[in-house]
Amino acid sequence: MKISFILPVYWPAIGGCELHTHELVGRLCRRHDVRVITQITSQADKPDNLWWGTLTRPVAGKERYWDDKAEVIRIRLETWEQKLLVPFVRFHHRAQEISMAVIRKVLQRKFLAHVQDSDLIHCVHNGASFYGHTALACARSMGIPFVFTPLLQINQALRDVAPNQEDWSGQPAIAPGSIGSYLASGSYHDKFWLRTARAADGLISMTRFEKEYLVAEGISASRIHEIGVGPLISSKHDAASFRRSHGIGEEPLVLFLGRKNRAKGFEEVLAATARVWGKSPGTRFVFIGPREGNAAEVFRKYRDPRIVELNEVDLDEKTSAIEACDILCMPSFFEALGGVFLEAWSFEKPVIAGDTAPLRELTGNGCGGFLVSLDPSDIAEKIIRLLDDPELRRRMGTWGRRKVESQYSWEAIASKIENVYGTLV
Residues 191 and 74 in one domain: yes
Instruction: From 202, 40, 223, select the one nearest 123 (Cα to Cα).
Output: 202
Whether residue 411 has pLDDT greater than 80: yes
Q: Say what the pLDDT of residue 167 is.
A: 39
Q: How confident is the model at residue 352 (pLDDT cuts 50, 70, 90)?
A: very high
CA 224 to chain centre: 19
Largest CA distance in the chain: 63
Whether residue 421 has pLDDT greater than 90: yes
Residues 293 and 376 in one domain: yes
**Which of residues 170 and 272 earns the better pLDDT score?**
272
Q: What is the mean pLDDT of the chain?
A: 88
Tell me how many domains the chain contains: 2
CA distances from 399 to 103, 105, 233, 253 (A): 47, 49, 19, 20
With beta carbons less than 8 A apart as the criterion, state whether 331 and 269 touch: yes
By DSSP bridging, strand 64-67 and strand 70-74 are antiparallel
Residues 369 and 281 in one domain: yes
The mean pLDDT value for 226-249 works out to 92
Q: How confident is the model at residue 59 (pLDDT cuts 50, 70, 90)?
A: confident
As a whole number of angstroms, the distance between CA 371 and CA 385 comes to 13
Residues 222 and 244 in one domain: no
Residues 222 and 259 in one domain: no
With beta carbons less than 8 A apart as the criterion, state whether 179 and 193 touch: no
**Which of residues 325 and 357 earns the better pLDDT score?**
325
Q: Say what the pLDDT of residue 189 is.
A: 52
Whether residue 5 has pLDDT greater than 90: yes
Residues 183 and 274 in one domain: no
The mean pLDDT value for 61-75 works out to 91
CA distances from 9 to 119, 179, 227, 278 (A): 22, 26, 21, 42
Instruction: From 229, 233, 243, 257, select the one nearest 346 (Cα to Cα).
Output: 233
Residues 198 and 255 in one domain: no
Residues 193 and 260 in one domain: no
- Domain at 252, CATH number: 3.40.50.2000
Residues 302 and 416 in one domain: no
The parent domain of residue 22 ranges over 2-230+409-424
Whether residue 383 has pLDDT greater than 80: yes
The mean pLDDT value for 277-303 works out to 94
Classify 202 as helix, strand or coil. Answer: strand
Q: Say what the pLDDT of residue 257 is.
A: 95
The mean pLDDT value for 21-46 works out to 94
**Which of residues 391 and 229 earns the better pLDDT score?**
391
Q: Say what the pLDDT of residue 153 is.
A: 66
Residues 83-132 pLDDT 10s: 999 999 998 878 889 999 999 999 999 999 999 999 999 999 867 899 99
As a whole number of angstroms, the distance between CA 178 and CA 183 comes to 10
Percent of the chain whose predicted confidence (pLDDT) is above 90 = 66
Q: How confident is the model at residue 138 (pLDDT cuts 50, 70, 90)?
A: very high
Residues 313 and 178 in one domain: no
Q: How confident is the model at residue 46 (pLDDT cuts 50, 70, 90)?
A: confident
Residues 118 and 217 in one domain: yes
Q: Say what the pLDDT of residue 159 is.
A: 43
DSSP state of 172: P
DSSP state of 57: S
Residues 157 and 289 in one domain: no
By DSSP bridging, strand 120-124 and strand 146-149 are parallel
Residues 292-349 pLDDT 10s: 888 999 999 999 999 999 988 899 999 999 999 999 999 988 787 888 999 999 999 9
Residues 152-206 pLDDT 10s: 765 544 443 333 333 333 443 434 333 333 333 334 457 888 899 999 999 999 8
